[in-house]
Amino acid sequence: MSAIETDVIIVGAGPVGLFAVFELGLLDLKCHLIDILDRPGGQCTELYPEKPIFDIPGIPHITGQGLTDQLMAQIKPFAPQFHLSQSATALKKRDDGKWQITTDDEVEIVAPVVVIAAGAGTFVSKRPPLPGIDSYEGKSVFYAVKKMEAFRDKHVVIAGGGDSALDWTLNLQPIAKSLTLVHHRDGFRAAPHSVERMRALQAEGKIQFHVASMKALSGTDCVLESVTLVGADKKEWEQKADMLLPFFGLTIKLGPIAEFGLNLHENLIPVDTAKFESSTPGIFAIGDINTYPGKLKLILCGFHEAALMAQAAFHICRPNEKLRFQYTTSSSSLQKKLGVA
Ligand SMILES: Cc1cc2nc3c(=O)[nH]c(=O)nc-3n(C[C@H](O)[C@H](O)[C@H](O)COP(=O)(O)OP(=O)(O)OC[C@H]3O[C@@H](n4cnc5c(N)ncnc54)[C@H](O)[C@@H]3O)c2cc1C
**Distance (Å, rounded) from C-alpha 47 to C-alpha 43?**
5
Query: What's the CA-to-centroid distance between 137 and ligand 1, angstroms?
Result: 23
Mean pLDDT of residues grouped by 10 in the chain (341 residues)? Answer: 93 98 98 91 88 96 96 98 92 97 95 97 86 95 87 98 92 98 94 94 98 97 97 96 92 88 95 98 98 98 98 98 94 94 83
Query: What's the CA-to-centroid distance between 19 and ligand 1, angstroms?
Result: 13
Q: Which amino acid is at 270?
A: P
Q: What CA–CA distances, in Å, run from 109 to 6, 31, 103?
A: 7, 10, 9
State the closest ligand 1 atom to the C-alpha of 257, by its place in the atom list counted from 1: 41
Query: What's the CA-to-centroid distance between 228 and ligand 1, angstroms?
Result: 34
| Residue 258: strand, helix, or coil | helix
What pLDDT does residue 36 have?
86
Nearest-CA residue for ligand 1 atom 33 is 12
What pLDDT does residue 2 have?
86
pTM to 2 decimal places: 0.76
What pLDDT does residue 8 have?
98
**Which of 320, 91, 131, 101 has its CA nearest to residue 228?**
131
State the closest ligand 1 atom to the C-alpha of 18, by its place in the atom list counted from 1: 25
What pLDDT does residue 249 have?
79
What pLDDT does residue 291 have?
98
Nearest-CA residue for ligand 1 atom 38 is 121
Give the Cα-Cα-Cα angle 244, 120, 138 (nearest 5 degrees): 25
What pLDDT does residue 9 have?
98
Query: What's the CA-to-centroid distance between 85 and ligand 1, angstroms?
Result: 16
